[in-house]
A and B are shown apart, each in its own frame.
Chain A
Amino acid sequence: MLSFQSSKNVLSLTEDLLVRIYELLAAESDRKSFRLVCREFRRIDSLTRRHLRVIRIEFLPILLRKYPRLQSLDLSACPRIDDGVVSLLLTRVGPGSNSPSLGHWAWGLKSLVLSRATGLRFSGLEMLTRACPCLESVDVSYCCGFGDREAAALSSAVGLRELNMDKCLQLTDVGLAKIAVGCSKLEKLSLKWCMEITDLGIDLLCKKCVDLKYLDVSYLKVTNESLHSIASLLKLEVLGLMACPLIDDVGLQFIERGCPSLKVIDVSRCEGVSSSGLIYVVRGHRNLLELNAGYCLSELSTALLHQMKNLNHLEVIRIDGARISETSFQVISANCKSLVEIGLSKCVGVTNMGIMRLVSACINLRVLNLTCCHSITDTAISAIAYSCRSLVCLKLESCNMITEKGLCQLGSFCLLLEEIDLTDCCGVNDKGLEYLSRCSELSCLKLGLCTNISNKGLSYIGSNCLKIHELDLYRCTGIGDDGLEALSNGCKKLRKLNLSYCNAVSDRGLAYIGRLEELSDLEMRALHKITGVGLEAVAVGCKKLADLDMKHCEKVGDSGFWALAYYSKNLRQINLSYCGISDMALCMVMGNLSRLQEAKLVHLSNSTVEGVELALRACCARIKKVKLFAPLRFMLSSEILEILHARGCIIRWD
């Protein structure tokens, strides 16, 4: 806290100095504190703020008026945005009004995130692109209803450089052609899951947008023809071809001869690609930085390995699911010395000796994925810990042979470790956690299915790893309320917690969870001991709770749900399946939680059809995804189903 004297000094600072100070504040929470100091500070904030992520659309007009110099607007958290809202934002306040014209906010806007804005259609989008002449980046990913008309609307943004259209399911070649012709300056384009796109569209794109640096066509049904077109892109650096089933080695031959600037290529899960295809790629691009070939190789062949010797700049390689020999590790470590990340998930043939050879030279390794490499023991972990001091992320899921000895080495040498996945490593015990807790930078810890850990082990984590924000305790049956107490005392920054099937947790434990103010994701399936009291404590305490999964929490009564409906205003996703929620409480939860987007409402034992209908009516304007009991399909009124459909809500029947 500032003393009176110093605060006077601070307040006497000139505006430009205040702006400078403000710009040095990196964290959003710090900026929030800054603007809460006084009116002058708030004015500085409103004048200098460039980026805004809106959570509640009802405040959007006020916020836009407050921050006139926005360059980046993120509306992905308000899926309720639709054409009407856009029209209002752009036209409502005319010149006659005493407040500054609302249209102004759009003039300087460069970046617009409309991800999951399923309510928006082409007319709204067109208004937006027209109103924002400086628009350079648009994200409309996961707007599943978007198609050619929306693409046409986007194509009027001629200055567009970055466009993300992932999962715009209705987009066809025609829409892509619109964008290719309209936005010829495009540098980055992502078309994942735009399943209607064919070679024709890609070909036209490559001819019209020659400045493309980043192109992602993952999951598309494009063929080698597309690769032939893509190969002509001289500036292309990143190419995503994940899970393109029709692409094969012949297509990669085009890439060998083309794309001179290629740095990153992802051919993972491409069924048709084999190691000869990768040989073409590697042979043509000696300066490759990242090669992602997960689940497309059966074996890391010697021929490919021979070519990989030339990749001296390679930083990232992922060969998940391939068979690999010990000598291969030798070759990789001898030649690819700048490797930063290596992914060996589910690789066959990964042995202690192989890993030791690998880490002997690749000392810069920061990310190592050894998921399901079952034959790894403490020996390999020790070698990793000793060689790779800058290791940040280590994934050891299902490495059953690892014991506290390995964790001891990690805790001694890898002090920069931030993320470790020990899911299903039954060798991990309390002692191991004690060693591991020496990694004080740890932010993500996954201990799912580690049945040998208890409250004692968790208390080490709670007392030492204060930066943890994600903790997975799935089916850690040894964990009880005491462990959660220790956790809530130390890990105040916890954002994501999985307590599913930790049967010992009771209402008292949830009361401790309620102390975690930052918590946003809580999964607590099948906690049979908890009641409404526990849920109430969580709802009251965890203000930021956004995702709650309480499937099979059968003892929770209406009092808990009422509390949820009243306090958890930020809740976005909820799973209430197999809960004993009543009609009344269901309507309250669904109606009052104004940010709710996704709900799973299967097998609600105490609810009736009318209750579900009413609940859906209460939330139909904003809900985006709902899972319902299949027989309800014929029991709910067709009207509500039509409304939900019209709003772009996806209903899953179970």
Chain B
Amino acid sequence: MDLKERVCDELQKEVPKGASSTNFNTQHQQKWEDPSSTLDYSTRIEPPFQAFNQTCQTQSLLLCNNQIKVPMQDGSINDLLQQASKIQDWDPSAMLNNLSFLEQKIHQLQDLVYLIIAQKGQVLGRPDELLVQQQQLVTADLTSIIIQLISTAGSLLSSVKQTLSAATTSLGQCGEFGGVVFPSSAQRLNDGVQPQNAGGSKVSEPQNSIDITSNNGNEQNNHIVEEHELKDEEDAEEGENLLPGTYEILQLEKEEILAPHTHFCTICGKGFKRDANLRMHMRGHGDKYKTPGALAKPTKESSSEPTIIKRYSCPYAGCKRNKDHKKFQPLKTILCVKNHYKRTHCDKSYICSRCNTKKFSVIADLKTHEKHCGKDKWLCSCGTTFSRKDKLFGHITLFQGHTPAIPSDEIKVAPAGTSDGATNKVGSVNFNLSSYVSSESEVQSSSMDIKGGIDDAVGYFSPLSFDTCNFGGFHEFPRPPFDDSESSFAFLLSRSCNYSQKSGEE
């Protein structure tokens, strides 16, 4: 499908938007932000809607390596998108007039584009003088349609500021969004609205998906799904339950996501990560950039206006964070997008220098890991380590047969408790009053090994009474009333067998 025709088509269907319509509307709005349909004609224009100003166009050109034939058109569409949110309050009758006017206009334009297609079939691949003229004509017409549409829509919506601010703050970024502004009142209008992603996936054609795979081929190789131990922004929004259609979905392209800088100097082209840094840099280009106004942070719109919630989609097809995914979960901020993309779809190039095993694709993750590296004391029998006990237990719950491993350093402690050989020997130490301390060395030298004590079986089962002791020191004491005391000590040894049968059990 040709772009122009498509644009006309879209615009045509855009018409009933102002009226109290519906999922039909949203479905086709969806197309605008649908990356697959974008890729459909990406041979010619990629990414679309980027020619908002010269700077970002050049930047995009650099990134995309694409020739862009209809910058104006793109810009105007972008304009439309920006302006579409202007609609504030709407007067139905006035709007109906405007819409019918638009319809006429669009039909005219449609015819013109049909004509172009017909010509194009004949002069395929040859950028003709005529074609350029026709394109300009179409562009002019489109522009007028758009302006009309905007003024119409302006009565309906009032969210220009949002997009405008986005345009000013992130000059480079706005070209990167393949976004559509969803009116905040859309919910009211489109009561029966279907989930966007469902609509989006319906629109996408099989041919597109092939394009995508070839396009992202190298990324798929890097596609590693992993569990993030770090709680990041992605996790934070898991529980968010935004109704589809109540927020604006923006999608950055892979190249933009991976670009080291997002803010570029319009004069020298130097890139910066932060807008504030860019503003500081700009001071060097002249006094006009030193005014407080130029240096001030671009102000956000007054909070009285209802703000459109912006959410981001991952450009990786099939990813849960991609808007075409059935259970699409949007990403909250650009930073989330960047971290998500790097973590999930990129190589893990940062390796922890301490353990040499853990790899990360986001350097902040590596730094966080390095803080805890070596402190992962929660170990599973499968060899996986965890920094937190609950993570380990979650893992064990999940996997059949896995158990927590007990750290090996405890082994060293345990034999101290099993030094039974030692204590047994102490039990049968010579009980001379003077020399009981001498057994200390014996305690230390006695074997810790259980089996070492096996030879001394008698020692284990001996009753450990005084019969094994030397009573040299006790003979001075007055004899106890039981004169047979010596035989009493021998009692257990001499008659132990009989004893066992009589009272060795209960």
Q: Which of A577-604 contact B (CB under 8 A)?
A: 584-585, 587-588, 591-592, 594
B306 at interface (Cβ–Cβ under 8 A)? Answer: no
Assess whether B465 is in contact with A591, with CB atoms less than 8 Å apart. yes
* Residues in B whose Cβ lies below 8 Å from that of A59: 461, 496, 499-500, 504-505
> CA of A257 to CA of B480 in the docked complex: distance in angstroms?
71
> CA of A570 to CA of B506 in the docked complex: distance in angstroms?
11
> CA of A123 to CA of B450 in the docked complex: distance in angstroms?
9
Q: How far is the CB of A424 from chain B (nearest CB, A)?
A: 34
With A84-B450, A591-B469, A621-B427 as given contacts, are A121 and B480 in contact (CB-CB < 8 Å)?
A: no
Q: How far is the CB of B70 from chain A (nearest CB, A)?
A: 60
Tell me how many residue pairs across A and B have CB atoms closer than 8 Å: 185
Partner of A149, one of B414, B464, B481, B503: B414
* Residues in B whose Cβ lies below 8 Å from that of A92: 454, 457
B125 at interface (Cβ–Cβ under 8 A)? Answer: no
Q: Which of B199-207, B236-244, B295-303, B436-444 binds A?
A: B436-444
* Residues in A whose Cβ lies below 8 Å from that of B414: 121-123, 149
* Residues in A whose Cβ lies below 8 Å from that of B488: 566, 592
> CA of A563 to CA of B484 in the docked complex: distance in angstroms?
12
Q: How far is the CB of A190 from chain B (nearest CB, A)?
A: 21
Interface of A is mostly: helix
With A92-B457, A617-B429, A617-B431 as given contacts, are A622 and B496 in contact (CB-CB < 8 Å)?
A: no
Partner of B454, one of A88, A175, A642: A88
A30 at interface (Cβ–Cβ under 8 A)? Answer: no
Assess whether B422 is in contact with A643, with CB atoms less than 8 Å apart. yes
Partner of B406, one of A60, A121, A174, A639: A174
With A55-B504, A617-B436 as given contacts, are A203 and B393 in contact (CB-CB < 8 Å)?
A: yes
* Residues in A whose Cβ lies below 8 Å from that of B401: 181
A632 at interface (Cβ–Cβ under 8 A)? Answer: no
B7 at interface (Cβ–Cβ under 8 A)? Answer: no
> CA of A217 to CA of B433 in the docked complex: distance in angstroms?
49
Q: How far is the CB of B197 from chain A (nearest CB, A)?
A: 34
> CA of A200 to CA of B390 in the docked complex: distance in angstroms?
7
* Residues in A whose Cβ lies below 8 Å from that of B417: 121, 145, 646, 648
B410 at interface (Cβ–Cβ under 8 A)? Answer: yes
Assess whether A55 is in contact with B506, with CB atoms less than 8 Å apart. yes
Q: Which of B115-132 contact A (CB under 8 A)?
A: none
Assess whether B450 is in contact with A617, with CB atoms less than 8 Å apart. no
* Residues in A whose Cβ lies below 8 Å from that of B454: 84, 87-88, 91-92
Partner of B416, one of A87, A155, A181, A646: A646
* Residues in B whose Cβ lies below 8 Å from that of A566: 482, 485, 488
Q: How far is the CB of A605 from chain B (nearest CB, A)?
A: 18
Q: Which of B464-489 contact A (CB under 8 A)?
A: 464-466, 469, 474, 477, 480-482, 485, 488-489
Assess whether B436 is in contact with A613, with CB atoms less than 8 Å apart. yes
With A54-B505, A88-B457, A177-B396 as given contacts, are A618 and B423 in contact (CB-CB < 8 Å)?
A: no
Q: How large is the interface on B (under 10, 10 to 19, 20 to 34, 35 or more residues)?
A: 35 or more
Assess whether B422 is in contact with A594, with CB atoms less than 8 Å apart. no
User: In the complex, which residue of chain B has the Cβ closest to the Cβ of A644?
Assistant: B423
> CA of A631 to CA of B75 in the docked complex: distance in angstroms?
93
Q: Mark B344-365, 1 if CB is under 8 A from A, else 0.
A: 0000000000000000000000
A246 at interface (Cβ–Cβ under 8 A)? Answer: no
Q: How far is the CB of A155 from chain B (nearest CB, A)?
A: 7
Q: How far is the CB of B401 from chain A (nearest CB, A)?
A: 7
User: In the complex, which residue of chain B has the Cβ closest to the Cβ of A198?
Assistant: B389
Assess whether B461 is in contact with A592, with CB atoms less than 8 Å apart. no
User: In the complex, which residue of chain A has the Cβ closest to the Cβ of B467?
Assistant: A592
Q: Which of A52, A77, A173, A566 has the most CB of B within 10 A?
A: A566
Assess whether B436 is in contact with A614, with CB atoms less than 8 Å apart. yes
> CA of A200 to CA of B422 in the docked complex: distance in angstroms?
39
Assess whether B477 is in contact with A181, with CB atoms less than 8 Å apart. no
User: In the complex, which residue of chain B has the Cβ closest to the Cβ of A614?
Assistant: B431
Assess whether A62 is in contact with B500, with CB atoms less than 8 Å apart. yes
With A28-B506, A56-B463, A591-B469 as given contacts, are A562 and B482 in contact (CB-CB < 8 Å)?
A: yes
With A592-B489, A613-B436 as given contacts, are A88 and B403 in contact (CB-CB < 8 Å)?
A: no
With A55-B503, A55-B504 as given contacts, are A647 and B393 in contact (CB-CB < 8 Å)?
A: no
Q: Mark A30-60, 1 if CB is under 8 A from B, else 0.
A: 0000000000000000000000111111111
* Residues in B whose Cβ lies below 8 Å from that of A178: 403-404, 406
A654 at interface (Cβ–Cβ under 8 A)? Answer: no
Q: How far is the CB of B383 from chain A (nearest CB, A)?
A: 16
Partner of A182, one of B403, B416, B443, B465: B403
B451 at interface (Cβ–Cβ under 8 A)? Answer: yes
Q: How far is the CB of A32 from chain B (nearest CB, A)?
A: 9
Assess whether B433 is in contact with A639, with CB atoms less than 8 Å apart. no
Assess whether B505 is in contact with A52, with CB atoms less than 8 Å apart. yes
Assess whether A149 is in contact with B406, with CB atoms less than 8 Å apart. yes
User: In the complex, which residue of chain A has the Cβ closest to the Cβ of B413?
Assistant: A149
Q: Which of B335-384 contact A (CB under 8 A)?
A: none
Partner of B424, one of A91, A621, A637: A621
Q: Which of A189-235 contact B (CB under 8 A)?
A: 200-201, 203-204, 207-208
A18 at interface (Cβ–Cβ under 8 A)? Answer: no
Q: Mark A471-485, 1 if CB is under 8 A from B, else 0.
A: 000000000000000
User: In the complex, which residue of chain A has the Cβ closest to the Cβ of B439?
Assistant: A639
* Residues in B whose Cβ lies below 8 Å from that of A558: 480
* Residues in A whose Cβ lies below 8 Å from that of B469: 591, 618
A421 at interface (Cβ–Cβ under 8 A)? Answer: no
Assess whether A200 is in contact with B393, with CB atoms less than 8 Å apart. yes
> CA of A18 to CA of B485 in the docked complex: distance in angstroms?
43
Q: Which of B277-291 contact A (CB under 8 A)?
A: none
> CA of A296 to CA of B496 in the docked complex: distance in angstroms?
54
> CA of A62 to CA of B501 in the docked complex: distance in angstroms?
9
A61 at interface (Cβ–Cβ under 8 A)? Answer: yes
A124 at interface (Cβ–Cβ under 8 A)? Answer: yes
Partner of B500, one of A63, A83, A587: A63
> CA of A642 to CA of B422 in the docked complex: distance in angstroms?
11
With A91-B454, A121-B414, A594-B464 as given contacts, are A53 and B419 in contact (CB-CB < 8 Å)?
A: no
> CA of A55 to CA of B403 in the docked complex: distance in angstroms?
37
With A592-B466, A643-B422, A646-B419 as given contacts, are A62 and B497 in contact (CB-CB < 8 Å)?
A: yes
User: In the complex, which residue of chain B has the Cβ closest to the Cβ of A560?
Assistant: B481
B35 at interface (Cβ–Cβ under 8 A)? Answer: no
Q: Which of B453, B461, B499 has the most CB of A within 10 A?
A: B461
Assess whether B427 is in contact with A123, with CB atoms less than 8 Å apart. no
* Residues in B whose Cβ lies below 8 Å from that of A208: 397
B462 at interface (Cβ–Cβ under 8 A)? Answer: yes
With A84-B460, A87-B450, A88-B457 as given contacts, are A646 and B396 in contact (CB-CB < 8 Å)?
A: no
Q: How far is the CB of A613 from chain B (nearest CB, A)?
A: 7
A15 at interface (Cβ–Cβ under 8 A)? Answer: no
Q: How far is the CB of A50 from chain B (nearest CB, A)?
A: 13
Partner of B450, one of A61, A124, A648: A124
Assess whether A181 is in contact with B402, with CB atoms less than 8 Å apart. yes
User: In the complex, which residue of chain A has the Cβ closest to the Cβ of B474?
Assistant: A584
A518 at interface (Cβ–Cβ under 8 A)? Answer: no
A530 at interface (Cβ–Cβ under 8 A)? Answer: no
Assess whether B465 is in contact with A594, with CB atoms less than 8 Å apart. yes
Q: Mark A133-176, 1 if CB is under 8 A from B, else 0.
A: 00000000000010011001001000000000000000001110
* Residues in B whose Cβ lies below 8 Å from that of A63: 500, 504-505
Q: Mark A58-85, 1 if CB is under 8 A from B, else 0.
A: 1111110000000000000100001111
* Residues in B whose Cβ lies below 8 Å from that of A639: 437, 439-440, 443
Q: Mark A453-491, 1 if CB is under 8 A from B, else 0.
A: 000000000000000000000000000000000000000
15 pairs, A vs B, C-beta closer than 8 Å = A28-B506, A54-B505, A83-B418, A83-B420, A85-B461, A145-B417, A149-B411, A174-B404, A207-B397, A562-B480, A566-B488, A618-B466, A621-B423, A621-B426, A647-B423
Partner-B contacts on A (CB < 8 A): 28, 52-63, 77, 82-85, 87-88, 91-92, 119, 121-124, 145, 148-149, 152, 155, 173-175, 177-178, 181-182, 200-201, 203-204, 207-208, 558-559, 562-563, 566, 569-570, 584-585, 587-588, 591-592, 594, 610, 613-614, 617-622, 637, 639, 642-643, 646-648
